[in-house]
Structure formats: C-alpha cells, structure tokens
Amino acid sequence: MEIGLQWIIFIGVAVVSWLVQLNLQNKFKKYSKIPTNNGMTGREVAQKMLYDNGIYDVQVTCTPGHLTDHYNPANKTVNLSESVYNSNSIMAAAVAAHECGHAVQHACAYGPLQMRSALVPVVSFASQWVTWVILAGILLINTFPSILLAGIILFALTTLFSFVTLPVEINASKRALVWLSASGITNSYNHDKAEDALRSAAYTYVVAALGSLATLIYYIMIFMGRRE
C-alpha cells in the first residue's frame, strides 16, 4: 500500500511539473508576440533597470539556449538567452527585469540570496554524489544503513536549496514588476501579461521544491522502515 501511494505521489509530481513547464512554454510564445511600449529589447531593459538602481558594475551578456536566463553573482553578469536579449517583447522585458532583480538583491545584500549563494558549494558537492550514495544505501540498507542516512542528509541539502530559492525568485519578480510599471515599460494594457509570465515561471520553482520534498520523504520512509 505504501509503495503504491509513493508511486502515485511521484507520478503526480511528474505530471504537475510537465504541465507547469508546458504552461510556461505557452506563455513564453504568447507574450513574445506582444511588443513593449517603447520597443526596448531585453538587453536595453536590463541595462536601464541596472542603471536606475545605481548598479554600474554588472554586465549584460547574451547566452545560448532557450530559457537559460540567469544572474551570476560570482562575476556580476546578467545572462539573457538569445530570444530575450534581442527581443522587444513584453516577455523579454519581464524576464530581463527579473534577472536584474537578482542583481539588485545582490547589491543590497538580500538575506535569502546570500544564503543561497553560501549553499552553492555545498549543494554542488551534494548533487555530485547524492545519487550514488542513495543507490548504495538502498542496496546495502540491511547491512550498512548509515550509508542511506548519509544519502538522505545530502539530499536534504538539495531540498533546502530548493526552498531557499523560492523567496529569492519571488522577490526578484516583485522588484521587476514594480520597476517595469514605474519606468513606463509596461502599462495598464500589458502589465498583467508581464505579471502572468513571471508567475508562471515561479510555479516551476514551487513544483521543483515540492517534488524534492516528496522524494526526501520517500527516502526517509525507506530508512525508517528498514527493520520491518
């Protein structure tokens, strides 16, 4: 019964994750066809938001791929995908402003961002080894249960990272939306579309965090039930 319930949870999370990703892709296509009021590209939007917030030491670059946009606090770069960097759509403006929201967080020492940055080296190590440790722990659970416990601890670190990421992403979107409206890049006609786009992107992080938590609980149940 427990195994059946666990599979239902995993399949449910996988389906929800797929639906959220599909929704994001559809929103990206839809809002990529709606231009901004002033025709500014993603690169220009990002540059303006940085300057408006007094940030002059962050570079805006173009990175290959689709939906690969991110802010790198290590080298202070806002990296925009090609479809955002060169586009003058409301979607491009929303994504560019969101990534610059992370740069603003960095500049003002936003607590959750600092915590996430501090966790990066640890999570990178955990992500590299967790799969193998968990697998070994499950295979040797009756003889060396401590291996699975170590794997659970490593996986718990990645789960913690997923949840710490949530306020960072939500706050960056809030900063972006406030600035987009105040700067006149969005108006009463298209601001709700920018908001909808960023909300759809945020759902992907929520689903990822919940999926990670469900998996962690599953491993804990295996460990706790090893004596049954």
SS3 for 94-142 is: HHHHHHHHHHHHHHCCCHHHHHHHHHHHHHHHHHHHHHHHHHHHHHCCC
Q: Provide the mean pLDDT of the chain.
A: 91
pLDDT at 152 over 60: yes
Model confidence at 177, pLDDT cuts 50, 70, 90, reads very high
Q: Which domain holds residue 66?
A: 2-224
**Number of domain units in the chain:** 1
pLDDT at 122 over 90: yes
* pLDDT given for residue 130 in this prediction: 94
User: What's the rounded mean pLDDT across residues 198-204?
Assistant: 91
Instruction: Map residue 31 onto helix, strand or coil.
Output: helix
pLDDT at 3 over 70: no
* pLDDT given for residue 9 in this prediction: 72
pLDDT at 1 over 50: no
Q: Where is 34: in which H helix or E strand?
A: none
* pLDDT given for residue 67 in this prediction: 83
* pLDDT given for residue 26 in this prediction: 87
User: What's the rounded mean pLDDT across residues 31-59?
Assistant: 94
Q: What is the pTM of this model?
A: 0.87
User: What's the rounded mean pLDDT across residues 74-87?
Assistant: 94
Name the residue with higher pLDDT: 135 or 66.
135
Q: Residue 99, Cβ neighbours under 10 Å: how many?
A: 25
